[in-house]
Each structure stands twice: as C-alpha cells, then as structure tokens.
Amino acid sequence: MATTHRGPGPSRRVVLVALAAALPLGTSAVALSGPASAASLPTAPAQAAATQAAGVYAAVVARGSTHTLTLVNRSTGKVVRTLASARAYDWQQPFAYVDVAPDGSVWAVVRKTSPNTYLPYASTLVHYTGGKAVNVLPYVTSVRLSPNGKQLAITVLSPDGNKDGKGTQALRIATPSGKVLRTLSATQFPVDKNGDPTVEVGGLRVSGWLNPSTLIVGDGCCDGGSVALASASRPSPATKWPTLFGDGSTRAIGTIGDKTVLVARNRWKGDGQKVPLSVVGVEAVTMSAARPRGSVVAYFPDENPSQDAYVDRFVARAKAKPLAIGTKRYPYKGTGKVVAAYL
C-alpha cells in the first residue's frame, strides 16, 4: 500500500510506503524524488543513567508536532527518563525502530525530518546511554539487539558513495560500537542525478532475533510485503529465505519458542476485476522455516484495522513473546499522546 504526498510544486512528488507508521515496528523508508533540505538530529539532555529494561517501555509521545522519545514505567505509567525530542511532519516520524537493551539503554533509528521533502538517507542509529546520545552508524533504517547484547542486526539504505549511479540496501551485523562484522544480504538500486532512488526501496527491516542464529526480516513496499527468516551468521540471498508473503501491512508481532514467528497481515476479498479488492480484517499467522506458508491461528474482522485493536490480542492469544506492542499495552500518565510503544 502506498500513500502519495505532494509538496509545493509538481517536482516534489514523494511516494511513501505505508507500513503502518504508528506501529511499534516503525516506519520504513521509501523511494522518492525531489530536492532535499537539511535538518538537525535531536540530542538527549544529560539525565540519570540506565534504568533496568524489565520495568520500563519506550514510548514516542506527541505534543502537537513535537515527538519525544521517553522511557516509561510499565506499572505506574510515569515517565522515567526523557531521551530526545524532534519535530514530526505528518508522514515523517523522527523516531523509529526503538529497542530497549537489558541494561536500560535505548537503541533507536533517528531521522531528520523536512516539512516538504522526504530525505532518503537521513537516518542515524543512536544509542541513548548514561544520559548521552551517541551517534553509532549513519543510514541505518532498523535495528535489533541480539539476545546476548553483543551484536546488532541492522538494515541500511546508503547513498551512491562511489558515483556508479547506484545506492545500496543491505542487512548487516554490527557490534554495539558500530563496527560492521558482516553483510548478510545486499541489493543495489539506481539513483538520479541528485542521488535519490528512482525505484521504491527502503522497506527492508529487522523485526527481531528468532534465536541466536536466525533473524526475522520484514520487507514491504506498496501492495506487497513479507516476513522472512535469514541466517545471522552467513550471507544468503533473500530468494532463499523461508518467506511468508502478504500485502504491505504484513509484519512480525511475536515469537513462539525459538522456531516460530507470529505474523499479522491484512485479509482481502475480491479479485480486483469483477469484484473490487478491499480489506476485511487482519489475520494472525504462525510461520517457521519448516512451514513458511504459515497457518492462520486468529482473525480480527475490521475494514480499517488499527494496530491497537489486534496486536496485543493476537500476541496474548498465541502466548507469544511480543516483538510489537500496542500504544495502550501499558499505562502512560504523562502529558501528550503515545503514538508508538516499544520493548
């Protein structure tokens, strides 16, 4: 599914991949064309250091057009720590793919935002720790910390650095200090004279670690989406990954043990010819390497489904460990509205 945003003038056409921007899994990058404008990364105020992750969740709170990344006590709903604030512009959110580490520090993909133009390479992996914001790696579009806390699984969307007319989208493993250990998968895409992608890219994202050797990888653009399992230790082409397909809404929301992924995806009716296609609800599907096509285990009928209505319900019913949570899963007692929540 895609949403088209037009800025001033016919040359500023931006196609935004609608991967449910408010979902805890974050917002993916997209193809676009048009001039880019500069914006500064938000920085964290010097505040108290690590809070243990078991008792907190991360929340992006909206107060008007300002979004603030915070840590919130799961039991009381009180804000424990304010990490950073930045301006949001309608279809551009400054904070995405947030992961709370066992020591209470926070990893987040932070985007520069612009009122009229989407900036394709404007994301940075930031580590909020000890009251500081440490810029770790540029061009990162998603992040998940490994179960032992020693490695990061990341996706990147990087520009044409060698002037060969191509950018790179890749899945990689890095150390917490930002050293890239290996590239697991990489594809190139054409760019225009300004360096912007000329095709729709940026939907690749790391949803989580199924086990120490297997990554859960999502992809989505326009009408197509998928959840796949990729090796965390050796390179492999995406065509070889066990994959469950769906539309652009398809996303991993939980794990069951160390072999099964719980996936949410839209259910459609119609054939697009005699009967128009339309969404009739969301289904929960379990998939594994042995059964990549999956099995439907739950269904939520709704023509305009909201993630708050089904994510937590599906996870609880399947007795899964959550990869995604709804914005109302835990209490919030501060000012503003929680627009995204993360564990």
Confidence at residue 5, expressed as pLDDT on a 0 to 100 scale: 29
Distance, in Å, from the CA atom of 235 to the CA atom of 174, rounded to the nearest integer, reads 14
Confidence at residue 52, expressed as pLDDT on a 0 to 100 scale: 59
Distance, in Å, from the CA atom of 155 to the CA atom of 27, rounded to the nearest integer, reads 13
Higher pLDDT, residue 278 or 161: 278
**Torsion of Cα atoms, 114 then 116 then 122 then 128, to 10°:** 30
Strand partners, 37: none
> 67-81, 159-173, 221-235, 323-337 — which is least confidently predicted?
159-173
Distance, in Å, from the CA atom of 112 to the CA atom of 159, rounded to the nearest integer, reads 15
Q: Are 32 and 120 in contact (CB under 8 A)?
A: yes
Distance, in Å, from the CA atom of 232 to the CA atom of 44, rounded to the nearest integer, reads 31
Confidence at residue 20, expressed as pLDDT on a 0 to 100 scale: 34
204-259: pLDDT as tens digits: 999 999 999 999 999 987 778 999 999 999 999 999 999 999 999 999 999 999 99
283-293: pLDDT as tens digits: 999 999 999 99
pLDDT surpasses 90 at 51: no
Fold of 2-33+50-342: Neuraminidase (2.120.10)
Q: Which stretch, 28-42, 106-120, 124-138, has highest mean pLDDT?
A: 124-138
Q: Which stretch, 43-47, 189-193, 246-250, 259-263, has highest mean pLDDT?
A: 259-263
Q: Are 52 and 103 in contact (CB under 8 A)?
A: yes
Domain ranges of the chain: 2-33+50-342
56-92: pLDDT as tens digits: 999 999 999 999 999 999 999 999 999 999 999 877 8
Model confidence at 196, in pLDDT bands (50, 70, 90)? Answer: confident
Q: Are 39 and 113 in contact (CB under 8 A)?
A: yes
The pTM is what? 0.83
pLDDT surpasses 50 at 129: yes
- Measure CA of the first residue to CA of the last residue in the chain; give whole Å: 27
Percent of the chain with pLDDT over 90: 65
Among residues 223, 24, 238, the alpha carbon closest in space to that of 142 is found at: 24
Confidence at residue 221, expressed as pLDDT on a 0 to 100 scale: 73
